[in-house]
Structure formats: C-alpha cells, structure tokens
Amino acid sequence: MPSANHASLLLSFTIAIASLTGCIHSSTDMERNSPRQVSEKKFTDERHPLPYTVKLSSTTDDRMLCDNCGNAGQQRLIQGGEKLSQYNMMVDSPYYAFLCIDTPVNSACRAGQWVMINKNQSTPRVEKISIGGTSAIADLRPANDKDTTWLEVIYANGEKKVFALPNTP
C-alpha cells in the first residue's frame, strides 16, 4: 500500500503535468489570439481596468476608430472594422470589445458569429470569433484580471461555456 508521502508526491506530479499540458495548449491558442474554451469554474465575475484609457468611436464617415488603443496616444482606424453602424450588439470589457451584426433575417448573434477588438493592440483590428453552441446564445458575460479576459457564454438550453483570451497586444 502506498504511503501518504507517496500519494502526495503522485498527486503533485499529476497536477504539475496537467498544468504543463495546459500551458502548452494555452500558449498555442494565445499565438492565434482566438478564444479557447476553459472550465466553467475559471470564470469569476471581476473586472480589472486597463492601466490607461481607451475609447472606441467612429469617424464622421462612420469608420471604426480607437483612441489610445495599446496606449499609443493616437487615434487609429480599426483594421477590418468597416462601418461602426453595421454592428447592433456590443459587449464591452476593459481589454476587449465584442460586437455582432444581427438582422431580422439573420440571427448571427444568437448563433455565435461575433467579432472582437483587442484594445491593448496599438494597431487594433477586428477578428472573427465563433462562440456558438448547441443552442442559441442567451447572454454573454465578460470578466478579466490583468492577464486574461474570460467570456462566459450562456445558451438558451442552460449550457454555459467560458472562453479565455490573453490581455496581451
């Protein structure tokens, strides 16, 4: 029968391997800067502000604009953003803005076809994300700490998924 020390060592080794596996997986996902699904237990409803002020707005001809994204001290057009007025749903968090285009014919927002803007990038751009599930999206809730932004997606059937994004540029 294994001793208590042996069991403790085995548990520590298992946790270390699991942590290492998670680090390898998450660094690969972070390089692509796309959300990765994480355990629901990792979601805690908290917000830590960016260490500087960022403002999303539009130009006079409705192009998407970011004032001080990435703490660059400049107003920059958001690459791939097209017209701001085309988006009719937005969920904001300190490091990311999540937007969606929904029409009466196309319920893309409830199907999970969203875009995100990383406000920590000095040259911000719109990136498509897919957060759909087995049923329509009922709600989105962002939270973050200084390193990670989590997006909890709650579906109409009660299912929940949590996606993680790095707060790096």
The answer on 134 and 73 residing in a single domain is yes
Contact predicate 166/113, CB 8 Å = no
Q: How far is residue 11 CA from its own chain's centroid?
A: 32
At residue 43 the predicted structure's pLDDT band, cuts being 50, 70 and 90, is: low
The answer on 155 and 86 residing in a single domain is yes
User: What pLDDT score does 18 carry?
Assistant: 33
The answer on 45 and 20 residing in a single domain is no
At residue 50 the predicted structure's pLDDT band, cuts being 50, 70 and 90, is: confident
The answer on 119 and 63 residing in a single domain is yes
pLDDT digits (tens, 9 = 90+) for 105-161: 778 898 998 999 999 999 999 999 989 998 999 999 999 998 999 999 999 999 999
The answer on 19 and 84 residing in a single domain is no
Structural domains of the chain, count = 2
- Structural domain span for residue 18: 1-32
Q: Is the pLDDT of residue 12 over 50?
A: no
Its pTM stands at: 0.73
Which residues, including other chains, have CB under 8 Å from residue 151's CB and lie 6 or more apart?
A: 35, 91, 93, 96, 98, 131, 140, 141, 142, 162, 163, 164, 165
